[in-house]
Structure 1
Amino acid sequence: MSPPYLRSISPSGKGPGRRNFRSIYYALAALAIFAFLFWTPLPNAYNQQREELVKNVSETTKGFTESAFHHEATLHNTKSKYAFATLLASDASHPDDPDNIHDDYFVATRLLGYQILHAPETRSDGIPFIVLATRGVSQAKRDRLRRDGAIVLSVETVQKPDWIEAGASNWAEVFDKLRLWELTQFERICFLDGDTILNRPLTEIFSDPAVASHTTLDRPDKLKADEPALPASYVFAGQPEMNHEHHYPPSDAQQDYPNINYLNAGFFVMQPSREILAYYLALMQLPDRFPPKFPEQNLLNYAHRRENEGGNMPWTQLEPTWNLHYPTMADLKGGVASLHEKWWAPEDAELAPYLRSWRWRMEGYYEAMDKTR
């Protein structure tokens, strides 16, 4: 389904006497849509149009402020068996940012939480949003996310061995993502990279057949003597890395994946398990067992390799329209559920108005809620 601003509106009148009217109506509607998308300027500075945003959101949120922000969400007071989660790492490029506005990933995390918890078009009612905050994330940012409604967990650093060097400096803390496997009160957790924008709710992903529990395979020839014992069962479902140019919906038959067996670790569903976490941590200690360039992604790809010559816990593939990396306007119009894309710098420039409009909606919403608490 297309997003609201991409849907056309048809008049209800019928019959030849209304043809001219319909033509005029369509022309005016097309002109209005064009003006909204391409002529109406989006805010390009933090404070631009802020008062109007806050005023509008204040009006629309009257009457449910108390239910939306009645108490701080915690692991102890959630009854959900499912959760959404992301990882927020420190931002070394902006150490002095009192207003928390220059850290694009922090803004993206707030935006993702707003869409999951509050936005009518995309929220998943009753399912918590968990942010794993690494050691360097400031207290101000943690407090802000909690006021937004997120469950913020300060995670202990997963120490990487010396043989692993990440491909980029800002990936130094990506192994902290593994702390998700400690949250055993949940049956399933859907992990999303912070630079993800929703287009529709993700609630039904927990019913995707790929997230069912699987018995670990028994293929002794695939076991290595220096590796730990495997758990009896597991849940790990995701999607392959995409080609930049692809069809919608993507498929291997259309050659939309460079390697359909290679998982993108920016979006997956798993079942927490301390036994599986111990298995991952043990694999990390084996030098050169997996390529270190994309650290946690290649660890997960090795642990859950699914080629014919692969391992005993192959990952399963989610329905391909839940999430797309390198999304395009065609994907958005086609109805993809979520876009793995940076709101501040999309590769497809046509997506910029859609992505940035969500940023301003989010900030206006929370500013209005802050004023009405």
Structure 2
Amino acid sequence: MTEEERAQHGIRRHDAAGEKRAYVTLVTNDDYGKGAVALIRSLRITKTTADIVVLHTPALGEASRETLAKLGARLIEADLLPLSDAFNARHARRTLHEVAPFTKGGKPAFHTPLDNFVKLRLWQLIEYESCIFIDADAVVLRNIGRLFAYPEFSAAPNVYESLRDFHRLNSGVFVARPSAATFAAMLQRLDCPDAFWPRTDQTFLQAFFPEWHGLPVFMNMLQYVWFTMPELWNWKSIHVLHYQYEKPWEANHPKTEALMPLIELWHAFHEGDPLPDIDSLPDPASPLHPQQPAGQVGG
């Protein structure tokens, strides 16, 4: 199979690229479609000239596709990766959460771990010289275009509870160089015998790129920092706000009260309402949010 054939297999492009650089997100269902609306609107506000690409699985509904297209996104349909039955069984939601449970926050019911691996299809987008991937549950608060010049593989640390987290990357924001050869190498390593990636694509990408280049934490500020490590939070520095675990469009999730200022900001992006002056927003006023007693933080 030629490089061009590898780059076409499993994804369906419906139009041509407009630029040589692209912001890319992954949308696997209508719930994450809501997130992508806010993300795209936030990127437009930064006055980016790069393409905005939505990789989406067939599970995304037609109404959601139309909404995202009207916002100017380039939609590319992507199949699940061709993985073995044994691999899929090991990484099914119930199995994965039993073996490697999420103990710090709650993953919503619409989160399907196997879908995360579709993110690797970004490397098939060889029409682009450089891509910045951003999870659909994030918003961009200021222009991050300079990251296109950063090396592959660049990502911010998975910091949301303590300084111990700095040794792990978070795959919610990263810089990559599409390559059919890299994609083929990824598939070969991903589904090797007995392979198990407890945090799906995130664990795999750190293993595949062991010398990953660290981005500043403010390029992917995880929402739990708001109440677990408030000394790291500074609105004037934050470029990307990432709503890890509970999602801002979920009604009355367990952290709603603690995260209300961040949820309200997300809704302003999603609905297209007037935005506050980000730089003038108050940072967390105390080490712990008033609604999060010490024994409950991150529970």
CA distance in 2: counterparts of 1:133 and 1:258, whole angstroms:
34
The equivalent of 2:62 in structure 1 is 139
The equivalent of 1:349 in structure 2 is 260
Identify the match of residue 76 of structure 2 among 147, 153, 157.
153
Deviations 1:302-361 (Å, cap 9, x if unpaired)?
1112xxxxxxxx211123322211342863523200100133366533323322222221
The equivalent of 2:42 in structure 1 is 115
1:197 shift after superposition: 1.5
1:262 shift after superposition: 1.6
SS of 1:328's equivalent? Answer: helix
Kept in 2, the 8 Å contact 1:199–1:335? The answer is: no
CA distance in 2: counterparts of 1:362 and 1:172, whole angstroms:
34
CA distance in 1: counterparts of 2:163 and 2:184, whole angstroms:
31
Identify the match of residue 293 of structure 1 among 198, 203, 222.
198
Q: Which runs of 5+ in 1 are unaligned?
A: 1-72, 92-102, 213-234, 245-255, 306-313, 364-373
- Establish whether residue 317 from structure 1 lines up as the match of residue 223 from structure 2: no
1:265 shift after superposition: 1.1
CA distance in 1: counterparts of 2:121 and 2:15, whole angstroms:
14
Report the residue type matching 2:70 in the other structure: R
- Establish whether residue 87 from structure 1 lines up as the match of residue 26 from structure 2: yes
Change (3 A) 1:362 1:108: farther
1:84 shift after superposition: 0.3
* TM-score normalized by the length of structure 2: 0.69
Change (3 A) 1:75 1:362: farther
- Establish whether residue 240 from structure 1 lines up as the match of residue 157 from structure 2: yes
SS of 1:343's equivalent? Answer: coil
SS of 2:170's equivalent? Answer: strand
SS of 1:109's equivalent? Answer: helix
Report the residue type matching 1:111 in the other structure: A
1:75 shift after superposition: 5.1
1:115 shift after superposition: 1.5
1:184 shift after superposition: 1.0
1:81 shift after superposition: 2.0
- 1:30-69 aligned at under 5 Å gives the runs none
CA distance in 2: counterparts of 1:353 and 1:157, whole angstroms:
33
Q: Which runs of 5+ in 2 are unaligned?
A: 1-12, 98-110, 251-255, 275-299
The equivalent of 1:276 in structure 2 is 182
Identify the match of residue 333 of structure 1 among 224, 231, 235.
235
Change (3 A) 1:279 1:108: same
Deviations 1:211-265 (Å, cap 9, x if unpaired)?
23xxxxxxxxxxxxxxxxxxxxxx2110111133xxxxxxxxxxx4324332111
1:202 shift after superposition: 1.6
The equivalent of 1:257 in structure 2 is 163
Kept in 2, the 8 Å contact 1:267–1:323? The answer is: yes
The equivalent of 1:76 in structure 2 is 16
Kept in 2, the 8 Å contact 1:198–1:337? The answer is: yes
Change (3 A) 1:357 1:292: same
* TM-score normalized by the length of structure 1: 0.56
CA distance in 2: counterparts of 1:332 and 1:152, whole angstroms:
34
Kept in 2, the 8 Å contact 1:241–1:260? The answer is: yes
CA distance in 2: counterparts of 1:259 and 1:333, whole angstroms:
21
Aligned residues: 229
1:187 shift after superposition: 1.4
1:132 shift after superposition: 0.4
The equivalent of 1:171 in structure 2 is 113
Change (3 A) 1:268 1:113: same
- TM-align CA RMSD: 2.4
CA distance in 2: counterparts of 1:354 and 1:259, whole angstroms:
26
Change (3 A) 1:344 1:138: closer
Change (3 A) 1:77 1:165: closer
CA distance in 1: counterparts of 2:73 and 2:133, whole angstroms:
14
CA distance in 2: counterparts of 1:301 and 1:288, whole angstroms:
18
CA distance in 1: counterparts of 2:167 and 2:28, whole angstroms:
28
1:175 shift after superposition: 1.2
